[in-house]
Amino acid sequence: MKRILLYILLGVFTFSFHTAVAQNESGYSMDKTVTPKAKEILTILTNPVRDGYLKLTFTSSQNNDLNVTIINSLGKQVYNAKRSINSDAQMFDVSKLSAGIYFLRVSTNSSNFVKKLIIR
């Protein structure tokens, strides 16, 4: 009989404790739904670059700051540009760079990308 009373008391205490945790100060239960942000995708439209203009597109064109850096095979930064994203497609004049294989680093407020870039 004592065990049954003990189980009942523990059950009531556990139920009231979980109910108190699930409610906020006003007494209403809170339901938090977390929606993941859409992943931003970078596409290099002109790879290899032949006409001296690098053209990039983004899937989500939010008003973000954009930082484009091109690094040569020795690890030296040879090009850097900063601007605000105002459309899906962005063009950069890279005609002063010599032909070769580079690394393209693109950073926005929400994403970072590193891709191989070929200039001919």
Structure tokens at 71: 């690094």
Total-model pTM: 0.65
pLDDT digits (tens, 9 = 90+) for 84-103: 877 778 899 999 999 999 99
Find out whether 32 and 52 touch, Cβ atoms under 8 Å: no
> 31-49 burial, b for 16+ CB within 10 Å, e for fewer?
eeeeeeeeebebebebbeb
Residue 13 has pLDDT above 80, yes or no: no
Question: Could you report the per-residue pLDDT of 25-53, keeping only the tens digit for each?
Answer: 555 544 445 445 567 788 898 889 999 99
Beta bridge partners of 105: 69, 114
Burial of 69 (0-12, 13-18, 19+ CB in 10 A): middle
* Segments making up each domain of the chain, as ranges: 42-119
Q: Cβ(40)–Cβ(109) under 8 Å?
A: no
CATH top-level class of 42-119: mainly beta
Q: Per the structure block, which two tokens stand in for 22?
A: 């699930």
The 10s digit of each residue's pLDDT in 46-89 is: 889 999 999 988 776 566 788 999 999 999 999 999 988 777 78
